[in-house]
Structure 1
Amino acid sequence: MELEVRHLRALCAIADAGSLHRAARQLGVAQPTLSTQLTRIEQTLGGPLFIRERTGCRPTPLGRTVLGRARPLLADMRTLVREARAAAAGGDSRLRVGSTASRALAGWLRRLRRPGLEPTLQMDVSANALLRRVTDGQLDVAFVHEVEGCPLRVPEGLRLRVLVEREPQFVMLPADHPAAARPVVRLTDLADDRWMVDPTVDGEWDGVHRMLRAVGLNPRVLHGDYHTAASLVATGEVVTVCQPSSQSRPDTAVRRLHGDPLGVRLLLAARTRDELDAVFPALEEAYWEVARQSTAYRECLEGPVPLPGASFPPGARTATDRAEFVPAR
């Protein structure tokens, strides 16, 4: 038996689904058929690829090795088919961009768009989900953030480049809040406020909870998306963490938190270094453009107290922000 693309697709489906039953349903085949196919693949490769348990399947060391090679091969095959179809149709080449929320997106997409290249966008609150889509060939690149203390689950084979090593998270509060009169807010100034957090954002609740507990706060917390949070901040119902590039409005104020207790790392992910090189400069320019537009963030970047990992002049390139790395496992 020789391995074929369909065999690799079946292995990845089993690994992602965590069980033969769910993988068979996703692939549209009967479970006995998939089980027989897996047995033949294992015989061909010389060892078991999955440990079968009552709760499902998990890869063996050999299985992890095979999956690490199978995923980029499948991704390359999808890319080949997509590009061939585009060329045959005489249409524009598509650059599939994924991202968590960022004010830099509009400027990034504008810079990427050119004759013959049309970027598309998939948004997701889950950075881990976007990284999986890059690995599986559903996206070409993904711009994500990693909450400190909550490492992302980076699939094997992905290339990562750091845009900002540590972007401090600010706080959004009602414009008439007493603490809004100061440029820097202490968490203890918000002891009587309710907070709103989006628990679907990978690592967000853990990071905010850890930040608040570190100063002895255990406030009331509402769960919801950040668009809703901004509306509730405007009416004085809650306060919430926000990106430093967020801008104050007549009814809300964006302020730096004293000591910068919560930070995120901004990362760009792709399958190859060439893909990173092709889109990173545009992302870098777009990010620092919106950073300069935010009064609170600009004052931090240009102020006397440097921001670790984010204090270099806008547009400058340092060894840190240009570096690629392989995350610890």
Structure 2
Amino acid sequence: MRELSLDHLRTLVAIADLGSLANAARALHLAAPTVTVQITELESRLGGQLLVRGRGPAQATALGERFIARARRLLADADDAVEEVRRQLAGQTGRVRVGASTGAIAHLLPPALERLARNHPGVEVNVQVLTSNESMGRLAAGSLDLAVVALPQAPVRGVHVTPLRREAVVAFLPATWKTPRRLTAQWLAERPLIMNDASTRLYRLTAEWFSAAGVHCRPRIELNYNDAIRTLVAAGYGAALLPEDSHEPARDPRIAVRPLSPALWRQLGLAVGDRSANGPARFVLEALLPGSSSNE
């Protein structure tokens, strides 16, 4: 038997709902002979009679009643499949690959993902822990859709970057240290330092801040995880320069936070690949724009 036609099934269900071939033909904008041919072909393919047709309303046979129930489910599944494709093409559903640092994942993404789930439940987000350089490379290669990156970034073909927010970088110190109210590069350079990995934008930004003051920083250890850095600071291992929001979720009494002199700021941006700009990534962008924090 050849495959069944959805058009034939739709005609059969219309006859069952409307009571006659003529009514079904008008509702489906078909010629009456076309409806007759479709039902005849359908019964021929199945090898059994589905409708009793005469002068009165068309009636489903026992075989027809069972088949019509199945046909309704098949048509509903087909309609759902078409609607799902349309929603994906419209960007209302789909999977978005997001690159972010550990700080962004901990402090920026949770409220954004909550807003996204509330407004666009059909959009799924896959988060990958990446530095800004790694994110920009993957966006250019098409293996990432969106990323939170530290600015500035060198222009990359096929990637559009939008400024997101500016945040202060401050000093995190063991609470037992005796410190001035505002810390200079000269003062910090004489203390043991814990810094982000040299591949991150925050490391370069911090090193430039020290260099502008005429001093060179020599970190005791380099890490990419703010939680681990804060743990080492709390243990008295050294001082760290991190985004101010890094201490908000859980203030540790063993850690003191001091502003820098001169002030140091880090600018964050949202980078999106051109190939993803018109898909569901735009809803993730909207969810991220109200505010955030990161770690690079």
TM-score w.r.t. length of structure 1: 0.52
Counterparts of 1:105 and 1:251, CA distance in 2: 27
In percent, how many aligned pairs have the same letter?
27
Give the C-alpha shift of residue 202 in structure 1. 2.8
- Contact 2:169–2:242, Cα closer than 8 Å, also in 1: yes
The equivalent of 1:106 in structure 2 is 110
Q: What is the CA deviation profile of residues 31-81 of structure 1, one whole-angstrom value per residue up to 9, with x for unaligned ones?
A: xxxxxxxxxxxxxxxxxxxxxxxxxxxxxxxxxxxxxxxxxxxxxxxxxxx
- Which of 127, 130, 137 pairs up with 1:132? 137
Aligned length, in residue pairs: 193
Q: Which amino acid aligns with 2:235?
A: T
Q: 1:115 to 1:209 in 2, by over 3 A?
A: closer
Give the C-alpha shift of residue 104 in structure 1. 0.9
Q: Which amino acid aligns with 2:255?
A: T
- 1:152 equivalenced with 2:157 (yes/no): no
Counterparts of 1:200 and 1:259, CA distance in 2: 22
- Which of 187, 203, 206 pairs up with 1:205? 203
Give the C-alpha shift of residue 200 in structure 1. 4.2
- Contact 2:132–2:201, Cα closer than 8 Å, also in 1: no
SS in 2 for 1:224: strand
Q: 1:163 to 1:219 in 2, by over 3 A?
A: closer
- Which of 233, 256, 260 pairs up with 2:259? 256
Matches within 5 A, 1:172-321: 172-179=172-179, 182=181, 184-225=182-223, 226=225, 227-247=227-247, 248-260=251-263, 262-272=264-274, 273-274=277-278, 277-287=282-292
Counterparts of 2:137 and 2:241, CA distance in 1: 26
Counterparts of 2:217 and 2:150, CA distance in 1: 25
Q: What is the CA deviation profile of residues 279-300 of structure 1, one whole-angstrom value per residue up to 9, with x for unaligned ones?
A: 333212242xx79xxxxxxxxx
The structure whose RCO (Cα within 8 Å, separation 6+) is larger is 2
Counterparts of 2:266 and 2:191, CA distance in 1: 23
SS in 2 for 1:257: coil
Q: What is the CA deviation profile of residues 294-315 of structure 1, one whole-angstrom value per residue up to 9, with x for unaligned ones?
A: xxxxxxxxxxxxxxxxxxxxxx
Counterparts of 1:169 and 1:201, CA distance in 2: 18
Counterparts of 2:140 and 2:233, CA distance in 1: 37
Counterparts of 2:157 and 2:262, CA distance in 1: 35
- Contact 1:168–1:244, Cα closer than 8 Å, also in 2: yes
Matches within 5 A, 1:22-61: none
Q: 1:238 to 1:96 in 2, by over 3 A?
A: same
SS in 1 for 2:257: strand
Q: 1:219 to 1:122 in 2, by over 3 A?
A: closer
Q: Which amino acid aligns with 1:121?
A: V
TM-score w.r.t. length of structure 2: 0.57
Counterparts of 1:116 and 1:244, CA distance in 2: 34
- Contact 1:131–1:154, Cα closer than 8 Å, also in 2: no
Give the C-alpha shift of residue 157 in structure 1. 1.8
Q: Which amino acid aligns with 2:137?
A: R
- Contact 1:232–1:238, Cα closer than 8 Å, also in 2: yes
The equivalent of 1:3 in structure 2 is none
Counterparts of 1:228 and 1:215, CA distance in 2: 28
- Contact 2:207–2:217, Cα closer than 8 Å, also in 1: no
Q: 1:219 to 1:153 in 2, by over 3 A?
A: closer
Q: Superposition RMSD on alpha carbons, in Å?
A: 2.8
- Contact 1:193–1:219, Cα closer than 8 Å, also in 2: no
Give the C-alpha shift of residue 223 in structure 1. 3.0
SS in 1 for 2:246: coil
